Amino acid sequence: MRVYSEQKELMQVTCNGCRKNLLVENGFLREECIHVEHDFGFFGSRDGLSHRFDLCEECYQKMIGRFAVPVEEWERKELL
Ligand SMILES: [Zn+2]
């Protein structure tokens, strides 16, 4: 979950999984965070809804640890 100031500056990022507040300095997130924003389509029970959440690395690891098929992983050649 993200909180912005009235000037649209990022103020706080809280992990939806464990409520940990991630490090935000001067409007920038300084800690790894998995941000998901998804618009549900026509073929499911959430038709027309959108979901958004943030996970810390630990909660992300717990989530993918329950997957029956491992996530795909590769090393990027260029980092921004
Ligand atoms: Zn967490």
Q: Calculate the alpha carbon distances from 21 to 6, 52, 71 in Å.
A: 20, 16, 26
Interacting residues of 31 by C-beta distance below 8 A, sequence separation 6+: 13, 22, 23, 56
The neighbourhood of ligand 1, an ion, using CB within 5 A, equals: 15, 17-18, 20, 56, 59
Task: Report the sign of the C-alpha dihedral through residues 59, 57, 72, 70, in that order.
Answer: negative
CA of 64 to the centre of ligand 1 (A): 13
pLDDT value, residue 80: 65
CA of 15 to the centre of ligand 1 (A): 5
pLDDT block averages, 10 residues each, the chain of length 80: 96 98 97 97 91 98 98 87
